[in-house]
């Protein structure tokens, strides 16, 4: 696996090694030891999720507040998405900035999104099967979101606005300046017993 820090260093692109021949392929999609060695701390992933979506479906921007903040390790099984992580840690040198990466079933690329970031994706292919790990269970009382089209963030989703498909919830999310956010000085991984190595 190749781990690459993005322009927001806490967000990591992971390119797994694909072993393929005329029969098909084999790929390791997750290695806790390698990821944690690169990060320098333990990620206690506890749940795997999967969604199926059609072209133009935009899910996001979502996150959970402490004490149920989540890291995510996301990938595409089939199809293609533009995946986005937004730094929403007040006081961070990259606060309000975002990273966008194309993930597809073909490139097998993954994105690690740490706690303190909002996450979303839009489907660029006809259909898409999207899978991700999280290190905290879903908590309705901590569930939050930010408007996908907040001009202060300025995400280019690469899909015409008229083609976007959003849930009612995602059409009513607040702007960044009105959202419940994280504090950059907090140790978000200490809050649920996940100790730094």
Which residue is catalytic, options 68, 98, 119, 132? Answer: 132
Total residues belonging to the chain: 197
CA torsion 170-120-65-10 (nearest 10°) is -160
The span from the CA of 56 to the CA of 155, in Å, is 15
Active site residue 132: yes
The span from the CA of 171 to the CA of 68, in Å, is 24
Work out whether strand 110-113 and strand 2-5 pair parallel, antiparallel, or are unpaired. unpaired
Active site residue 161: no
Number of H helices, E strands in the chain: 1, 15
Which residue is catalytic, options 55, 62, 63, 161? Answer: 62
Closest listed residue to residue 59, CA positions, set 48, 51, 69: 51
Q: Which residues are catalytic?
A: 62, 132
């Amino acid at each position: 696996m190749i781990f690459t820090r993005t322009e927001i260093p806490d967000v990591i692109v992971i390119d797994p090694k694909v072993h393929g021949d005329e029969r098909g392929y084999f790929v390791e999609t997750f290695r806790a030891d390698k990821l944690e060695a690169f990060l320098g701390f333990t990620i206690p992933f506890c749940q795997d999720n999967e969604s199926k979506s059609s072209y133009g479906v935009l899910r996001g921007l979502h996150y959970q507040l402490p004490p149920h903040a989540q890291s995510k390790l996301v990938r595409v099984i089939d199809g293609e998405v533009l995946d986005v992580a937004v730094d929403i840690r007040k006081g961070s040198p990259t606060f309000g900035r975002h990273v966008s990466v194309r993930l597809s079933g073909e490139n097998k690329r993954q994105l690690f999104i740490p706690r303190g970031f909002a996450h979303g994706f839009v489907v660029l292919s006809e259909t898409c099967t999207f899978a991700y790990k999280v290190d905290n269970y879903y908590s309705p009382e901590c569930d939050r979101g930010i408007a996908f089209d907040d001009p202060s963030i300025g995400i280019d989703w690469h899909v015409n606005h008229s083609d976007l498909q959003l849930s009612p919830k995602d059409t009513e999310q607040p702007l960044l300046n009105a959202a419940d956010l994280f504090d950059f000085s907090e140790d978000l991984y200490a809050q649920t017993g996940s100790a730094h190595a």
